[in-house]
Structure 1
Amino acid sequence: MRLENKVAVVTGGGRGIGRGITEQLLSQGAKVLIAQRQPLDEPLSQQENVAYISVDLADVNAPYLIANTAQEVFGGVDILVNNAGFMFEKSLDDMTEQEWDTMMAVNMRAPVFLTKALLPLMRAQGGASIINIGSIEGLGANPWHAAYCGSKAGVHGFTRALAIDLGKDNIRCNAIAPGWINSDLSHDYINAQDNPTQAKQELLKLHPVGRTGEPADIGATVVFLASQDSAFITGQVIVVDGGRTAKLPLPF
């Protein structure tokens, strides 16, 4: 197994994209500490190589609580996956400062300071791989997503800067920019449209591969970036979107 005896911290690792990441890491022999507010479901909580800490990533103390738990439970950290985040749709006219600050606290500040909190453990291991989950909305935009797009563009920029600063410590840092990934939330969004069947057909047309993504697609990319297979890759934003952003739109 490519990640046998490696320890990973995954924020939001119990559901959605995070669940796909956790499952792929476990399949390759890694031990995983999941940090999120929601408790784990029974199948995941009973996994031998899974530990859990309940934290609110908007709390400034959360990164240090996670780092302490990683030290106590696993004795070190080899892989950090900054996955947790959220999104809301709101125009700038209607957005409040508190809403903006909350978005940045979870989507941007938490990855930055969790990385800071875990650096001593990663340096002690002689190196590590940090994988930040950005978004294709850090590269483009949808309507009413100013806060979300801003936060994800920040994640991409932070990724590149960190790769430069930490290369000397044998710590690599890359980001993944997922496109449309199937989840309960994305299914609910489609089903809320006036014509869900047509909406799904139009969505599929945006993807040259003929399908939307699965959490396991992101998880498999995380495994690659966490492993020695990607030892010469750092400072990159890898788009995993089934070709959606490569396809030029047509008016017909």
Structure 2
Amino acid sequence: MQLAGKIALVTGGGQGIGRGIVERFVEEGAQVAVVQRGPLDSALEQHQDVLGIQTDLSDPTAPSMAVEQAAGHFGGIDILVNNAGIMFERSVSRIRLDEWDRMIAVNLRAPLFLVQAALPHMRRRGGGSIINIGSIEGLAANPCHTAYCASKAGIHGMTRALAVDLGGDNIRCNAIAPGWIASELSENYLASQPDPAAAREALKRLHPAGRVGNPTDVGDLAVYLASDRSGFLTGETIVLDGGRTAKLPLPF
């Protein structure tokens, strides 16, 4: 098992991409603290290697509280996955200050202060791995996603800076920039289209891999980045999108 003896904290780990990461971490032998606003479902709650920590990461006190609770329960932290995030669609002229502030608080501020709180524990254990979940929207943009794109581009930049600052502590930091990953939300979006079957086929055609991603695709990459096998990899943002952003669009 690649993560045997490792202790991980994963934000937003109860569903979607975060759930795929948590499930793969547990399969590889890690103990995992899942930090999210709501309670864990029964499958995770009853797992002996999973701890649920319920908190709102927009609260400035939440990052340090979550880290100390996880470290106190399991005995330390080796891996931090900053996955939790929010998104809204607004034209530039309609973005409200409170919406912007909440998005930045969850998507950008909380990851930094989770890292800050985890540092003493990682240093005490001789190092660690930080994995930030960015997005292909930190590299390109969909309409009405100005605030979201800004927050994810910030995550990518923060990843590089953390790798530079923390390398001397044997702490690596990398980001995963997922593309379209299947989830309940994305399935509902496809189902809402006038012709869901045609929409699904058009979506597949965007991807040279011939399919959209699954949460376990992200989980598999996160396992590698969290493990000692990626010991020389730091400061990188890895695009995981089935080739979507590598494919030039045609005008017909």
Per the normalisation by structure 1, the TM-score is: 0.99
Q: Secondary structure at the match of 2:58?
A: coil
* 2:205 aligned with 1:209: no
Counting only pairs closer than 5 Å after superposition, residues 192-203 of structure 1 correspond to structure 2 as 192-203=192-203
Counterpart of 2:119 in structure 1 is: 119
The CA distance in 1 between the partners of 2:221 and 2:162, in whole Å, is 19
Counterpart of 1:239 in structure 2 is: 239
Counterpart of 1:65 in structure 2 is: 65
Counterpart of 2:12 in structure 1 is: 12
Counting only pairs closer than 5 Å after superposition, residues 82-231 of structure 1 correspond to structure 2 as 82-231=82-231
Q: Secondary structure at the match of 1:58?
A: coil
One-letter amino acid of the structure 1 residue matched with residue 6 of structure 2: K
The CA distance in 1 between the partners of 2:211 and 2:130, in whole Å, is 28
The CA distance in 2 between the partners of 1:112 and 1:224, in whole Å, is 22
1:71 deviates by 2.2
Residues 113-156 of structure 1: CA deviation (Å, up to 9, x unaligned): 11111111111111000000000000000000000000000000
The CA distance in 1 between the partners of 2:115 and 2:185, in whole Å, is 28
One-letter amino acid of the structure 2 residue matched with residue 18 of structure 1: G
Residues 70-119 of structure 1: CA deviation (Å, up to 9, x unaligned): 22101100000000001111101111111111110110001011111111
The CA distance in 2 between the partners of 1:68 and 1:129, in whole Å, is 17
One-letter amino acid of the structure 1 residue matched with residue 169 of structure 2: D
Counting only pairs closer than 5 Å after superposition, residues 42-53 of structure 1 correspond to structure 2 as 42-53=42-53
Residues 203-251 of structure 1: CA deviation (Å, up to 9, x unaligned): 1100001000000000000000001111000000001000000000001
The CA distance in 2 between the partners of 1:21 and 1:50, in whole Å, is 12
1:68 deviates by 1.3
One-letter amino acid of the structure 2 residue matched with residue 156 of structure 1: H
Counterpart of 2:74 in structure 1 is: 74
Q: Secondary structure at the match of 2:129?
A: strand
One-letter amino acid of the structure 2 residue matched with residue 206 of structure 1: L
The CA distance in 1 between the partners of 2:71 and 2:223, in whole Å, is 22
The CA distance in 1 between the partners of 2:116 and 2:148, in whole Å, is 23
The CA distance in 1 between the partners of 2:229 and 2:246, in whole Å, is 25
The CA distance in 2 between the partners of 1:120 and 1:97, in whole Å, is 34
1:194 deviates by 2.1
* 2:40 aligned with 1:40: yes
Identity, % of aligned pairs? 60
* 2:55 aligned with 1:55: yes
Paired residue total? 252
- What is the alpha-carbon root mean square deviation over aligned residues? 0.6
Q: Secondary structure at the match of 1:93?
A: helix
One-letter amino acid of the structure 2 residue matched with residue 213 of structure 1: G
1:196 deviates by 1.5
One-letter amino acid of the structure 2 residue matched with residue 239 of structure 1: V
The CA distance in 1 between the partners of 2:87 and 2:67, in whole Å, is 26
The CA distance in 2 between the partners of 1:193 and 1:95, in whole Å, is 26
One-letter amino acid of the structure 2 residue matched with residue 178 of structure 1: P
1:67 deviates by 1.5
Residues 3-45 of structure 1: CA deviation (Å, up to 9, x unaligned): 1010000000111110000000001000000000111111111
Per the normalisation by structure 2, the TM-score is: 0.99
The CA distance in 2 between the partners of 1:13 and 1:33, in whole Å, is 9
Q: Which ranges of structure 1 fall in alignment gaps of 5 or more residues?
A: none
